[in-house]
A and B are shown apart, each in its own frame.
Chain A
Amino acid sequence: MATEPTGGEEAATGLPQLDFSTFPNQIFWLLVTLVVIYLILDRIALPRIASVLAERQGTITNDIAAAEELKMKAAEAEKAYEKALADARAEAQEIAAKARAEIQEDLDAAIAKADAEIAARSAESEKKIAEIREGADAAVVEVAKDTAAALVAALGGTGSAAAIESAVERKTKG
Protein backbone atom coordinates (compact mmCIF):
# COMPACT_ATOMS: atom_id res chain seq x y z
CA MET A 1 0.00 0.00 0.00
CA ALA A 2 2.97 2.28 0.50
CA THR A 3 3.66 1.97 -3.24
CA GLU A 4 0.33 3.62 -4.03
CA PRO A 5 0.66 7.25 -5.02
CA THR A 6 -0.75 9.45 -2.30
CA GLY A 7 -2.41 12.81 -2.83
CA GLY A 8 -2.10 14.43 0.56
CA GLU A 9 1.23 15.48 1.95
CA GLU A 10 0.22 14.32 5.42
CA ALA A 11 -0.44 10.79 4.25
CA ALA A 12 2.89 10.21 2.58
CA THR A 13 3.17 6.76 4.09
CA GLY A 14 0.67 4.19 5.26
CA LEU A 15 -3.10 4.29 5.33
CA PRO A 16 -4.77 7.69 5.14
CA GLN A 17 -7.13 6.30 7.80
CA LEU A 18 -4.27 6.20 10.30
CA ASP A 19 -3.09 9.72 9.59
CA PHE A 20 -3.99 11.32 12.89
CA SER A 21 -3.45 14.87 11.64
CA THR A 22 -6.81 14.76 9.85
CA PHE A 23 -8.69 13.30 12.84
CA PRO A 24 -9.75 16.57 14.49
CA ASN A 25 -11.18 17.77 11.20
CA GLN A 26 -13.14 14.58 10.55
CA ILE A 27 -14.37 14.32 14.11
CA PHE A 28 -15.48 17.95 14.12
CA TRP A 29 -17.45 17.64 10.88
CA LEU A 30 -18.86 14.26 11.94
CA LEU A 31 -20.20 15.75 15.16
CA VAL A 32 -21.69 18.68 13.23
CA THR A 33 -23.29 16.23 10.78
CA LEU A 34 -24.71 13.97 13.47
CA VAL A 35 -26.12 16.89 15.44
CA VAL A 36 -27.74 18.33 12.31
CA ILE A 37 -29.24 14.94 11.35
CA TYR A 38 -30.42 14.44 14.94
CA LEU A 39 -32.10 17.84 15.00
CA ILE A 40 -33.74 17.31 11.60
CA LEU A 41 -35.07 13.93 12.69
CA ASP A 42 -36.01 14.79 16.25
CA ARG A 43 -37.63 18.14 15.51
CA ILE A 44 -39.25 17.58 12.12
CA ALA A 45 -39.18 14.12 10.58
CA LEU A 46 -39.87 11.71 13.44
CA PRO A 47 -42.83 13.54 15.02
CA ARG A 48 -44.30 13.94 11.56
CA ILE A 49 -43.92 10.26 10.66
CA ALA A 50 -45.16 9.20 14.10
CA SER A 51 -48.28 11.35 13.72
CA VAL A 52 -48.91 10.04 10.20
CA LEU A 53 -48.57 6.44 11.40
CA ALA A 54 -50.81 7.11 14.40
CA GLU A 55 -53.37 8.79 12.16
CA ARG A 56 -53.27 5.85 9.75
CA GLN A 57 -53.66 3.41 12.63
CA GLY A 58 -56.61 5.44 13.89
CA THR A 59 -58.20 5.55 10.47
CA ILE A 60 -57.78 1.82 10.04
CA THR A 61 -59.21 1.12 13.50
CA ASN A 62 -62.17 3.40 12.81
CA ASP A 63 -62.76 1.81 9.44
CA ILE A 64 -62.67 -1.65 10.95
CA ALA A 65 -65.12 -0.59 13.66
CA ALA A 66 -67.41 0.97 11.04
CA ALA A 67 -67.19 -2.16 8.94
CA GLU A 68 -68.04 -4.26 12.00
CA GLU A 69 -71.05 -2.06 12.68
CA LEU A 70 -72.21 -2.27 9.08
CA LYS A 71 -71.80 -6.02 9.18
CA MET A 72 -73.97 -6.17 12.30
CA LYS A 73 -76.56 -3.97 10.64
CA ALA A 74 -76.53 -6.18 7.60
CA ALA A 75 -77.02 -9.25 9.80
CA GLU A 76 -79.92 -7.54 11.53
CA ALA A 77 -81.47 -6.58 8.23
CA GLU A 78 -81.09 -10.13 7.04
CA LYS A 79 -82.78 -11.40 10.18
CA ALA A 80 -85.65 -8.96 9.72
CA TYR A 81 -85.97 -10.00 6.10
CA GLU A 82 -86.03 -13.67 7.07
CA LYS A 83 -88.69 -12.95 9.65
CA ALA A 84 -90.83 -10.99 7.17
CA LEU A 85 -90.44 -13.82 4.70
CA ALA A 86 -91.50 -16.42 7.27
CA ASP A 87 -94.48 -14.29 8.31
CA ALA A 88 -95.55 -13.83 4.73
CA ARG A 89 -95.19 -17.52 4.08
CA ALA A 90 -97.30 -18.39 7.15
CA GLU A 91 -99.96 -15.90 6.14
CA ALA A 92 -100.06 -17.26 2.64
CA GLN A 93 -100.45 -20.75 3.99
CA GLU A 94 -103.31 -19.60 6.24
CA ILE A 95 -105.08 -17.89 3.36
CA ALA A 96 -104.65 -20.95 1.20
CA ALA A 97 -106.01 -23.21 3.92
CA LYS A 98 -109.00 -20.94 4.46
CA ALA A 99 -109.71 -20.84 0.74
CA ARG A 100 -109.42 -24.59 0.56
CA ALA A 101 -111.87 -24.99 3.46
CA GLU A 102 -114.36 -22.62 1.85
CA ILE A 103 -114.14 -24.42 -1.44
CA GLN A 104 -114.58 -27.76 0.35
CA GLU A 105 -117.67 -26.44 2.08
CA ASP A 106 -119.19 -25.20 -1.19
CA LEU A 107 -118.31 -28.45 -2.81
CA ASP A 108 -119.88 -30.48 -0.02
CA ALA A 109 -123.05 -28.42 -0.21
CA ALA A 110 -123.22 -28.80 -3.98
CA ILE A 111 -122.63 -32.55 -3.71
CA ALA A 112 -125.33 -32.91 -1.08
CA LYS A 113 -127.78 -30.93 -3.20
CA ALA A 114 -126.94 -32.98 -6.25
CA ASP A 115 -127.30 -36.19 -4.24
CA ALA A 116 -130.74 -35.09 -3.04
CA GLU A 117 -131.83 -34.18 -6.54
CA ILE A 118 -130.53 -37.49 -7.86
CA ALA A 119 -132.38 -39.36 -5.14
CA ALA A 120 -135.62 -37.48 -5.89
CA ARG A 121 -135.33 -38.08 -9.59
CA SER A 122 -134.54 -41.76 -9.22
CA ALA A 123 -137.53 -42.18 -6.87
CA GLU A 124 -139.76 -40.49 -9.40
CA SER A 125 -138.32 -42.69 -12.16
CA GLU A 126 -138.89 -45.82 -10.14
CA LYS A 127 -142.45 -44.77 -9.53
CA LYS A 128 -142.94 -44.18 -13.23
CA ILE A 129 -141.32 -47.52 -14.04
CA ALA A 130 -143.62 -49.25 -11.59
CA GLU A 131 -146.63 -47.55 -13.15
CA ILE A 132 -145.47 -48.54 -16.59
CA ARG A 133 -144.86 -52.08 -15.43
CA GLU A 134 -148.29 -52.27 -13.86
CA GLY A 135 -149.87 -50.80 -17.03
CA ALA A 136 -148.00 -53.36 -19.09
CA ASP A 137 -149.14 -56.24 -16.87
CA ALA A 138 -152.78 -55.10 -17.19
CA ALA A 139 -152.37 -54.73 -20.92
CA VAL A 140 -150.92 -58.26 -21.15
CA VAL A 141 -153.85 -59.68 -19.22
CA GLU A 142 -156.28 -57.73 -21.43
CA VAL A 143 -154.56 -58.91 -24.62
CA ALA A 144 -154.48 -62.49 -23.31
CA LYS A 145 -158.19 -62.36 -22.47
CA ASP A 146 -159.01 -60.91 -25.89
CA THR A 147 -156.77 -63.47 -27.62
CA ALA A 148 -158.20 -66.32 -25.59
CA ALA A 149 -161.80 -65.25 -26.33
CA ALA A 150 -160.92 -64.92 -30.02
CA LEU A 151 -159.23 -68.33 -30.01
CA VAL A 152 -162.18 -69.91 -28.27
CA ALA A 153 -164.56 -68.30 -30.78
CA ALA A 154 -162.42 -69.32 -33.75
CA LEU A 155 -162.16 -72.94 -32.60
CA GLY A 156 -165.94 -73.01 -32.44
CA GLY A 157 -165.96 -73.44 -28.74
CA THR A 158 -168.35 -71.80 -26.51
CA GLY A 159 -167.56 -70.46 -23.18
CA SER A 160 -168.73 -67.80 -21.03
CA ALA A 161 -166.67 -64.70 -21.03
CA ALA A 162 -166.35 -64.94 -17.26
CA ALA A 163 -164.94 -68.48 -17.42
CA ILE A 164 -162.36 -67.50 -20.05
CA GLU A 165 -161.34 -64.47 -17.98
CA SER A 166 -160.83 -66.45 -14.83
CA ALA A 167 -158.86 -69.11 -16.71
CA VAL A 168 -156.57 -66.51 -18.28
CA GLU A 169 -156.07 -64.82 -14.94
CA ARG A 170 -155.14 -68.13 -13.39
CA LYS A 171 -152.60 -68.82 -16.15
CA THR A 172 -150.95 -65.33 -16.15
CA LYS A 173 -150.60 -65.25 -12.39
CA GLY A 174 -149.27 -68.82 -12.31
Chain B
Amino acid sequence: MDQFVPAPLFGGDVIHWWTPTNVTLWMAIAVLSIAALFVLGTRGRAVVPTRTQSVAELMYGFIYKMVEDVAGKDAVKFFPYIFTLFLFILFANFLALIPMSFSTTSHLAVTGVMALAVFLTVIIVGFVKHGVGFLKLFWLTSAPPVMRPVLAVLEFILFFARPVSHSVRLFGAIMAGHAVVKVFAGFAQITAAAPLAIVGVTAIYGLEMLVAGIQAYVFTILTCVYLKDALHPHH
Protein backbone atom coordinates (compact mmCIF):
# COMPACT_ATOMS: atom_id res chain seq x y z
CA MET B 1 0.00 0.00 0.00
CA ASP B 2 3.04 2.28 -0.03
CA GLN B 3 2.08 3.38 -3.55
CA PHE B 4 -0.77 5.34 -1.96
CA VAL B 5 1.32 7.12 0.68
CA PRO B 6 1.76 10.86 0.18
CA ALA B 7 5.41 11.77 0.73
CA PRO B 8 7.27 15.08 0.68
CA LEU B 9 9.02 15.68 -2.62
CA PHE B 10 12.15 17.28 -1.24
CA GLY B 11 12.86 15.08 1.79
CA GLY B 12 11.77 15.59 5.37
CA ASP B 13 9.20 13.65 7.32
CA VAL B 14 6.64 16.23 8.28
CA ILE B 15 3.81 16.97 5.86
CA HIS B 16 2.50 20.48 6.48
CA TRP B 17 -0.53 21.66 4.55
CA TRP B 18 1.76 23.56 2.18
CA THR B 19 4.51 20.91 1.77
CA PRO B 20 5.06 20.03 -1.91
CA THR B 21 4.45 16.28 -2.01
CA ASN B 22 4.01 13.63 -4.69
CA VAL B 23 0.35 14.67 -4.58
CA THR B 24 1.46 18.13 -5.68
CA LEU B 25 3.68 16.69 -8.40
CA TRP B 26 1.03 14.51 -10.02
CA MET B 27 -1.68 17.13 -9.74
CA ALA B 28 0.71 19.56 -11.42
CA ILE B 29 1.34 17.03 -14.18
CA ALA B 30 -2.43 16.70 -14.63
CA VAL B 31 -2.73 20.50 -14.88
CA LEU B 32 0.09 20.65 -17.43
CA SER B 33 -1.46 17.83 -19.49
CA ILE B 34 -4.83 19.57 -19.52
CA ALA B 35 -3.16 22.85 -20.47
CA ALA B 36 -1.23 21.08 -23.23
CA LEU B 37 -4.38 19.59 -24.69
CA PHE B 38 -6.71 22.56 -24.25
CA VAL B 39 -4.36 25.52 -24.69
CA LEU B 40 -1.53 24.30 -26.92
CA GLY B 41 -3.79 21.88 -28.78
CA THR B 42 -6.34 24.54 -29.70
CA ARG B 43 -3.94 27.42 -30.37
CA GLY B 44 -4.49 27.06 -34.12
CA ARG B 45 -8.22 27.91 -33.70
CA ALA B 46 -8.64 26.05 -36.97
CA VAL B 47 -12.07 25.71 -38.52
CA VAL B 48 -10.83 22.37 -39.83
CA PRO B 49 -9.28 21.05 -36.61
CA THR B 50 -5.97 19.29 -36.11
CA ARG B 51 -6.09 15.93 -34.34
CA THR B 52 -5.28 17.41 -30.94
CA GLN B 53 -7.78 20.21 -31.34
CA SER B 54 -10.33 17.64 -32.43
CA VAL B 55 -9.82 15.67 -29.19
CA ALA B 56 -10.28 18.83 -27.13
CA GLU B 57 -13.42 19.72 -29.09
CA LEU B 58 -14.84 16.22 -28.69
CA MET B 59 -14.42 16.33 -24.91
CA TYR B 60 -15.94 19.81 -24.84
CA GLY B 61 -18.89 18.74 -26.94
CA PHE B 62 -19.40 15.52 -24.98
CA ILE B 63 -19.58 17.18 -21.55
CA TYR B 64 -21.46 20.23 -22.85
CA LYS B 65 -24.16 18.01 -24.31
CA MET B 66 -24.26 15.94 -21.11
CA VAL B 67 -24.79 19.06 -18.96
CA GLU B 68 -27.44 20.34 -21.34
CA ASP B 69 -29.29 17.02 -21.65
CA VAL B 70 -29.10 15.85 -18.03
CA ALA B 71 -29.18 19.04 -15.99
CA GLY B 72 -31.09 21.28 -18.39
CA LYS B 73 -30.31 24.29 -20.54
CA ASP B 74 -30.02 26.68 -17.58
CA ALA B 75 -27.25 24.48 -16.13
CA VAL B 76 -24.92 25.49 -18.94
CA LYS B 77 -23.47 28.27 -16.80
CA PHE B 78 -22.07 25.55 -14.51
CA PHE B 79 -20.38 23.92 -17.48
CA PRO B 80 -16.84 25.24 -16.78
CA TYR B 81 -17.14 24.01 -13.19
CA ILE B 82 -18.33 20.53 -14.22
CA PHE B 83 -15.80 20.35 -17.03
CA THR B 84 -13.02 21.18 -14.55
CA LEU B 85 -14.05 18.27 -12.33
CA PHE B 86 -14.36 15.92 -15.30
CA LEU B 87 -10.98 16.78 -16.77
CA PHE B 88 -9.19 16.60 -13.43
CA ILE B 89 -10.63 13.15 -12.66
CA LEU B 90 -10.07 11.85 -16.18
CA PHE B 91 -6.46 13.02 -16.38
CA ALA B 92 -5.66 12.01 -12.80
CA ASN B 93 -7.13 8.54 -13.42
CA PHE B 94 -5.14 8.00 -16.59
CA LEU B 95 -1.91 9.48 -15.19
CA ALA B 96 -2.32 7.12 -12.23
CA LEU B 97 -1.96 4.20 -14.66
CA ILE B 98 1.62 5.19 -15.46
CA PRO B 99 3.85 2.84 -13.43
CA MET B 100 5.48 4.50 -10.39
CA SER B 101 3.02 7.38 -10.55
CA PHE B 102 0.87 8.56 -7.66
CA SER B 103 -2.90 8.13 -7.92
CA THR B 104 -4.41 11.34 -6.60
CA THR B 105 -7.98 10.20 -7.21
CA SER B 106 -7.45 7.08 -5.08
CA HIS B 107 -7.61 9.29 -1.99
CA LEU B 108 -10.71 9.94 0.02
CA ALA B 109 -9.46 13.42 0.83
CA VAL B 110 -9.45 14.32 -2.87
CA THR B 111 -12.69 12.65 -3.97
CA GLY B 112 -14.39 13.70 -0.73
CA VAL B 113 -13.60 17.36 -1.28
CA MET B 114 -14.90 17.20 -4.83
CA ALA B 115 -18.09 15.39 -3.79
CA LEU B 116 -18.64 17.85 -0.96
CA ALA B 117 -18.09 20.73 -3.34
CA VAL B 118 -20.81 19.34 -5.61
CA PHE B 119 -23.08 18.69 -2.61
CA LEU B 120 -22.67 22.23 -1.28
CA THR B 121 -23.13 23.69 -4.76
CA VAL B 122 -26.43 21.82 -5.09
CA ILE B 123 -27.66 23.03 -1.69
CA ILE B 124 -26.59 26.64 -2.22
CA VAL B 125 -27.92 26.85 -5.78
CA GLY B 126 -31.15 25.14 -4.70
CA PHE B 127 -31.86 27.55 -1.87
CA VAL B 128 -30.74 30.63 -3.81
CA LYS B 129 -32.95 29.78 -6.79
CA HIS B 130 -36.00 28.38 -5.02
CA GLY B 131 -35.72 29.47 -1.36
CA VAL B 132 -37.71 27.21 0.93
CA GLY B 133 -39.33 25.74 -2.17
CA PHE B 134 -36.15 23.73 -2.61
CA LEU B 135 -37.40 21.50 0.22
CA LYS B 136 -40.18 20.30 -2.08
CA LEU B 137 -37.45 18.06 -3.46
CA PHE B 138 -38.22 15.76 -0.51
CA TRP B 139 -41.99 16.01 -0.84
CA LEU B 140 -43.06 13.60 -3.58
CA THR B 141 -46.41 14.89 -4.84
CA SER B 142 -46.71 11.90 -7.13
CA ALA B 143 -46.87 9.53 -4.12
CA PRO B 144 -50.07 8.81 -2.11
CA PRO B 145 -50.49 11.47 0.63
CA VAL B 146 -50.09 8.90 3.42
CA MET B 147 -46.74 7.79 2.12
CA ARG B 148 -45.32 11.27 1.65
CA PRO B 149 -43.88 11.86 5.17
CA VAL B 150 -42.18 8.44 5.13
CA LEU B 151 -40.80 9.02 1.67
CA ALA B 152 -39.66 12.48 2.71
CA VAL B 153 -37.53 10.98 5.49
CA LEU B 154 -36.09 8.43 3.06
CA GLU B 155 -35.40 11.09 0.44
CA PHE B 156 -33.73 13.23 3.08
CA ILE B 157 -31.41 10.39 4.14
CA LEU B 158 -30.68 9.56 0.49
CA PHE B 159 -29.85 13.18 -0.17
CA PHE B 160 -27.18 13.18 2.53
CA ALA B 161 -25.87 9.81 1.41
CA ARG B 162 -25.11 11.28 -2.01
CA PRO B 163 -21.73 12.89 -1.28
CA VAL B 164 -20.61 9.70 0.51
CA SER B 165 -21.42 7.41 -2.40
CA HIS B 166 -20.24 10.03 -4.88
CA SER B 167 -16.76 10.18 -3.31
CA VAL B 168 -16.34 6.58 -2.18
CA ARG B 169 -17.27 5.24 -5.64
CA LEU B 170 -14.37 7.02 -7.32
CA PHE B 171 -11.80 6.53 -4.60
CA GLY B 172 -12.81 2.88 -4.11
CA ALA B 173 -12.70 2.01 -7.80
CA ILE B 174 -9.29 3.53 -8.37
CA MET B 175 -7.73 2.24 -5.14
CA ALA B 176 -9.12 -1.28 -5.59
CA GLY B 177 -7.94 -1.45 -9.18
CA HIS B 178 -4.42 -0.41 -8.28
CA ALA B 179 -4.36 -2.78 -5.32
CA VAL B 180 -5.43 -5.71 -7.56
CA VAL B 181 -2.69 -4.90 -10.06
CA LYS B 182 -0.25 -4.84 -7.14
CA VAL B 183 -1.46 -8.26 -5.88
CA PHE B 184 -1.04 -9.81 -9.34
CA ALA B 185 2.38 -8.21 -9.65
CA GLY B 186 3.27 -9.76 -6.28
CA PHE B 187 2.38 -13.24 -7.60
CA ALA B 188 4.72 -12.64 -10.54
CA GLN B 189 7.63 -13.10 -8.09
CA ILE B 190 6.70 -16.78 -7.81
CA THR B 191 8.20 -18.46 -10.88
CA ALA B 192 5.43 -21.04 -11.37
CA ALA B 193 2.66 -18.46 -11.22
CA ALA B 194 4.51 -15.78 -13.14
CA PRO B 195 3.01 -16.31 -16.63
CA LEU B 196 -0.51 -16.31 -15.25
CA ALA B 197 0.25 -13.31 -13.06
CA ILE B 198 1.67 -11.32 -15.97
CA VAL B 199 -1.38 -12.11 -18.08
CA GLY B 200 -3.49 -11.08 -15.08
CA VAL B 201 -1.66 -7.79 -14.66
CA THR B 202 -2.13 -7.03 -18.36
CA ALA B 203 -5.83 -7.88 -18.25
CA ILE B 204 -6.47 -5.88 -15.08
CA TYR B 205 -4.49 -2.99 -16.54
CA GLY B 206 -6.79 -3.00 -19.56
CA LEU B 207 -9.79 -3.10 -17.27
CA GLU B 208 -8.36 -0.21 -15.26
CA MET B 209 -8.10 1.92 -18.40
CA LEU B 210 -11.80 1.34 -18.89
CA VAL B 211 -12.49 2.13 -15.24
CA ALA B 212 -10.45 5.34 -15.44
CA GLY B 213 -12.69 6.68 -18.19
CA ILE B 214 -15.94 5.33 -16.78
CA GLN B 215 -15.37 6.69 -13.27
CA ALA B 216 -14.71 10.17 -14.65
CA TYR B 217 -17.90 9.86 -16.73
CA VAL B 218 -19.95 8.56 -13.79
CA PHE B 219 -18.74 11.28 -11.42
CA THR B 220 -19.61 13.93 -13.99
CA ILE B 221 -23.03 12.60 -14.95
CA LEU B 222 -23.99 12.25 -11.26
CA THR B 223 -22.89 15.84 -10.73
CA CYS B 224 -25.26 16.81 -13.54
CA VAL B 225 -28.09 14.74 -12.05
CA TYR B 226 -27.62 16.37 -8.62
CA LEU B 227 -27.43 19.79 -10.21
CA LYS B 228 -30.71 19.13 -11.97
CA ASP B 229 -32.31 18.69 -8.52
CA ALA B 230 -31.00 22.08 -7.50
CA LEU B 231 -32.31 23.79 -10.62
CA HIS B 232 -35.59 21.90 -10.96
CA PRO B 233 -36.49 20.44 -7.53
CA HIS B 234 -40.03 19.57 -8.65
CA HIS B 235 -40.07 15.96 -9.68
Contacts and interface: CB of A to CB of B under 8 A. Distances in A.
Tell me whether A and B are bound partners: yes
Contacts of B205: none
Given A8-B7, A26-B109, A41-B80, A33 B42 contact: no
B96 to A, nearest CB: 14
A64 B147 CA distance: 56
A40 B2 contact: no
Interface in A1-38: 1, 4-11, 15-19, 21-34, 36-38
Interface residues of A, number: 46
A17 B109 CA distance: 7
Nearest to A2: B1
B13 A9 contact: yes
B178 to A, nearest CB: 11
Contacts of B57: 49, 52-53
B30 interface: yes
Nearest to B87: A37
B166 interface: no
Given A17-B108, A40-B38, A52-B57, A24 B88 contact: no
B2 A33 contact: no
A34 B234 CA distance: 31
Contacts of A53: 57, 60-61
B5 A27 contact: no
Interface in B37-68: 38-39, 42, 45-47, 49, 53, 56-57, 60-61
A10 B4 CA distance: 12
Contacts of A147: none
Nearest to A51: B45
A15 B114 CA distance: 20
B45 A52 contact: yes
A142 interface: no
Contact of B27 (A8, A30, A40, A46): A30
Interface of B: 1-2, 4-7, 13, 15-19, 21, 23-24, 27-28, 30-31, 34-35, 38-39, 42, 45-47, 49, 53, 56-57, 60-61, 79-81, 83-85, 87-88, 104, 106-110, 113-114, 171, 175
